[in-house]
Chains A and B, each alone.
Chain A
Amino acid sequence: MRRLSDDRLDQHLRAHLQALRVQPRRHIWTLVEQRLQPRNRPIRYLWLTALFTLWHLPLANDWSVQRYSRMQLPAIRIEEAITYESVQQPAFSTLSLAKLRKNYWSEKEAEALPRRPDETGELAAIVLEKISLSTISHPLMHKTIRNEWSIADECNRRWQVGFLVQLNNNWLVDFKNVFKDDVRYQFTMGASYGLTAGYSISSRWALFGGLVHTLGAGQRFANTAVHGRAVDLQFTAKQISLSYLHVPLWMQYELRPSAVRFDRNMRLNLFTGLQYGRLLHFTMDKLKGDMKNNFVLRNNEYSLVGGVAWQLFERDGSLYTVGLRGAVSTPIFTRQMEQYYELQRARNVSLGLFAAISLNRCASRNR
């Protein structure tokens, strides 16, 4: 019996294995295709929001308006221009009328102007048209005037009590492996609703607080480093669903009317703050967790919150607002169980679209 030489062994294995062809399972292509698509990382949404805000900032903020006014509107004295207040008054003051006459109309033209309160909207339109036709040639100027017009009605001290509803896109982000591609997330929706209250401490700054019930925080995910990328989420996915009572506290900064960009009296607010969360209940893989003997999840959660809010309009003393709100929490698992559930230092991250209606009472007004 002749012993097999190294060359012979190599040759034989090469002959069999060099041209080895094996058809992979069908779903592999689907997984490759999924990974070729841009990833839905929370960070991307945040960047997009930040970019969007920054893009609007120079034109939305009022320093730009003032700059335009100084640079390109020397002929118009803004403080003497028609203000919303003056045209809103049931019978506008003789002073305003005098200004109108002096600056923009002849006496004959002024006589023809509407005087009744229900015609004030029409008057505003005429005023703007007159201004734009007579003195403004640049298209931006027209908008700038409208900007000032809306600022004139500013209420710099107001109370607000409102109701908020938010749809959240949730992630459990493994912060120890945030730049790795090991965790595959499945789109997880949640919702929040609650009450908010706020007070504007200056014409721009406001302090808000709230009491919000958050449902469906958490994530459906699979750790591919553990199970392999080719394994279907259906079989290996873990699911954590959390419910919290949140108490957010945030500061809001109002960027001045963004009429230049939006061509309407829309106000843009930036806000940031902190949020305390009390875990109410949780489910893991659809099994309800025992809150009394919970040693896995932290009962108290603290988050950094921030976002953008667009104050759409005010009607009958109610403010209608929509916006984007994001939150990043402290780790959700207890210190002993930090690496539990195939995750390490997992935190709740959410980005949500909210809508709010708030009753609005003005404490003092700019005049």
Chain B
Amino acid sequence: MSRSGGMRLEAKRQPLEAELIQGCLQGDRQCCKLLYEQTASVMFGICLRYASDFHEAEDILQEGYIKVFRYISQYRGDGPLEGWMRRIFINTALAYGRRHKCESPTEDPPYPDDEPLTADVLSRLETFELLELVQNLPRGYRMVFNLYVIDGYSHKEIAGLLGISEGTSKSQLARARSQLRKMLANTQQKKTYAKAF
């Protein structure tokens, strides 16, 4: 029952997306706006992960959508539109990162490393706290971490995308994890102190 209902829904949604794409291809602003409204929250989530702050994420979001609307004719329809858009946003974020390379420190910021990270720390953290931690990673680490851990790219693909060697990608990922552990431990410490006082 629910399966057939789902299929009916799917059948209804499919032409809508196609119509939106068609509308965007014809330069219909209303269709562009609808597509934006339907996908903006997901895409902004991606941008936030790759950006170092909220404003940077908004920049990437804008640039990403400009690319989507300019190059929507290149979408062949052989996969979901969201997947194609995700790739565009990731590439936009990487390009943005390359342009602003020098603005972000590449060395590890100092974090205490005295307390081991435990599983319950993670469970106590909210999504936005985790996001903030990822955003605080140095740009290079953040890119590799996002690509590998969250978006499922292989080290070979990452090396191709970022123009680095596979070895560098692996070492950057290891450093990103290590940095995250330190930052999580730091957060854990802060929370403990906050509770105590």
Contacts and interface: CB of A to CB of B under 8 A. Distances in A.
Given A21-B42, A24-B58, A36-B69, A12 B122 contact: yes
B109 interface: no
A180 to B, nearest CB: 10
A174 B149 CA distance: 41
A35 B48 contact: no
A41 B39 CA distance: 31
Nearest to A27: B58
B58 A229 contact: yes
A28 B150 contact: no
Interface string A258-280: 00000000000000000000000
Interface stretch (A3-11, A49-57, A115-123, A292-300): A3-11
A29 B42 CA distance: 15
B65 A32 contact: yes
Contacts of B177: 6, 9-10
- Of residues A3, A17, A28, A31, which shows the largest number of chain B Cβ atoms within 10 Å of its Cβ? A17
Contact of B118 (A1, A19, A224, A231): A1
- For the side of the interface on B, what is the size category? 35 or more
Interface in A19-47: 19-25, 28-29, 31-33, 35-36
Given A6-B177, A17-B150, A25 B58 contact: yes
Given A28-B61, A33-B33, A36-B32, 8 more contacts: A3-B116, A4-B121, A13-B150, A16-B130, A17-B150, A22-B48, A33-B32, A230-B61
25 contacts: A1-B116, A2-B118, A3-B116, A4-B117, A13-B130, A13-B134, A14-B149, A17-B127, A17-B130, A17-B150, A20-B45, A20-B49, A20-B127, A21-B45, A23-B40, A24-B41, A24-B61, A29-B36, A29-B37, A29-B40, A36-B32, A36-B69, A228-B55, A230-B55, A230-B61
Interface of B: 29, 32-33, 36-37, 40-42, 44-46, 48-49, 55-56, 58-59, 61-63, 65-66, 69, 116-119, 121-123, 127, 130-131, 134, 149-151, 177, 180-181
